[in-house]
Amino acid sequence: LAAAGLLLRGRARDAVVVAGSTGWAAITLDFARRRIAPGPRNPREVARMAVTSVLIPPAAIAHRVRGAVRHRRAGPWPPAIEAILFDRDGTLIHDVPLNTDPARVAPLPDARKALDTARRHHLRTGVVTNQAAVGRGEISEDDVARINRRVEELLGPFDTWQVCHHASTDGCECRKPQPGMVFAAAADLGVSVSRCAVVGDVGSDVEAALAAGARPVLVPTRHTRPEEVLAAPLVAKSLATAVDLLLKGNLSGGNLSKGNGR
Ligand SMILES: [Mg+2]
Ligand SMILES: [Zn+2]
């Protein structure tokens, strides 16, 4: 009524203030009433409910606005991929258990093509590989390094190498499905982990990616278990397809321009 009266007298701005604060007060009263009603309704409780009922709405609105602003500033989601981290055995090269002979390193058919595509699109590349045979004492770190050099001869240079030499019983934080190597690779590349993809052939590659907050792509082989394929958020039939999917995602969801929203 007061607002209507002010409006009739041509004081529109005052009318809005009166209507607004009356409305706010009414809603606050209703909020307090609902919170006090269930009890125990002693003076302490009623006082606390009254005070917090006044404070909660502005705090909630401020929180909501802050979230909306952060969301807008964060840029497109999912963010554009800037780096692809590949599992080694069964993904880049055929898995030859306990291989210490560089001559037996054989890339998967489209590995070179997939990596060329990634590099041509200015994506950084890396390798994240579990080499537990070192931890078990079956091969040496030098053996692994020799194989890795051969991988680079065949597939070109990678921007980062992360190798876990621990046995599964060591309880380290790097061995996949732990996220340690994904974090280390992202840090080494200077790329946010949310802008890294992890491409691998088994469930632990997917799990390491998810645990780190990176984007997993599973490229199953005949050794990949069906439940691992079912559990993977993104499955590609080949390495080249995996890279194509990630690049396509960059074009549609994210943004290809480098450094956007970082
Ligand atoms: Mg593998
Ligand atoms: Zn480790």
CATH of the domain at 98: 3.40.50.1000
Query: Where residue 1 falls among pLDDT bands split at 50, 70, 90?
Result: confident
Return the pLDDT at 256. Answer: 39
Q: Which ligand is nearest to the CA of 170?
A: 2
| Cα distance between residue 66 and residue 121, in whole Å | 35
* Pair 107, 229 in one domain: yes
* Pair 147, 62 in one domain: no
* Pair 43, 112 in one domain: no
116-174, pLDDT tens digit by residue?
Answer: 999 999 999 999 999 999 999 999 999 999 999 999 999 999 999 999 999 999 999 99
- 51 C-beta neighbours (distance < 10 Å), count: 11
| Cα distance between residue 114 and residue 155, in whole Å | 10
- Backbone φ and ψ of 150, nearest 5°: -65, -40
* Pair 39, 111 in one domain: no
* Pair 216, 94 in one domain: yes
Residue 202 CA to ligand 1 centre (angstroms): 6
* Pair 15, 101 in one domain: no
Domain holding 215, by residue range, is: 83-252
Residue 245 CA to ligand 1 centre (angstroms): 20
- Ion ligand 2: residue ranges with CB closer than 5 A: 164, 166, 172, 174-175
Contact predicate 117/248, CB 8 Å: no
Residue 50 located in a structural domain: yes
Residue 258 located in a structural domain: no
Q: Among 13, 45, 73, which residue terminates a domain?
A: 73
* Pair 35, 114 in one domain: no
Q: Which two tokens stand for residue 239?
A: 């390495």
* Pair 40, 107 in one domain: no
Q: Which ligand is nearest to the CA of 128?
A: 1
* Pair 241, 122 in one domain: yes
Residue 78 located in a structural domain: no
Q: Among 73, 96, 114, which residue terminates a domain?
A: 73
Residue 183 CA to ligand 2 centre (angstroms): 13
* % pLDDT > 90, the chain: 82
Residue 165 CA to ligand 2 centre (angstroms): 6
Residue 157 CA to ligand 2 centre (angstroms): 23
Residue 167 CA to ligand 2 centre (angstroms): 7
Q: Among 48, 73, 98, which residue terminates a domain?
A: 73
pLDDT at 106 over 80: yes
7, burial (CB in 10 Å: exposed 0-12, middle 13-18, buried 19+): middle
Element (H, E) at 67: helix 43-73
Residue 257 located in a structural domain: no
Task: Show contacts of 196-199: CB within 8 Å, 24+ apart.
Answer: 196/81, 196/82, 196/83, 196/84, 196/85, 197/81, 197/83, 197/84, 197/85, 197/246, 198/84, 198/85, 198/86, 198/87, 198/128, 199/84, 199/85, 199/86, 199/87, 199/91, 199/236, 199/239, 199/242, 199/243
Q: Which ligand is nearest to the CA of 180?
A: 2
Number of domains in the chain: 2
Residue 222 located in a structural domain: yes
* Pair 177, 231 in one domain: yes
Q: What is the DSSP string of 70-136?
A: HHHHT-SSSPPP-EEEE-TBTTTB---TT---GGG--B-TTHHHHHHHHHHTT-EEEEEEE-HHHHT
Residue 261 located in a structural domain: no
247-261, pLDDT tens digit by residue?
Answer: 998 887 544 333 333
Which CA distances in Å does 233 have to 82, 83, 188, 224?
19, 18, 26, 15
* Pair 64, 164 in one domain: no
* Pair 141, 210 in one domain: yes
Residue 116 CA to ligand 2 centre (angstroms): 29
Residue 259 located in a structural domain: no
More confident residue, 143 or 39: 143
Q: Which ligand is nearest to the CA of 127?
A: 1
Residue 170 CA to ligand 2 centre (angstroms): 8
Residue 80 CA to ligand 1 centre (angstroms): 25
Is the peptide bond preceding residue 76 cis, with omega within 30 degrees of 0? Answer: no
All residues at 6 or more sequence positions from 18 whose CB lies less than 8 Å from its CB, including other chains: 2, 3, 6
Residue 176 located in a structural domain: yes
Contact predicate 30/44, CB 8 Å: no
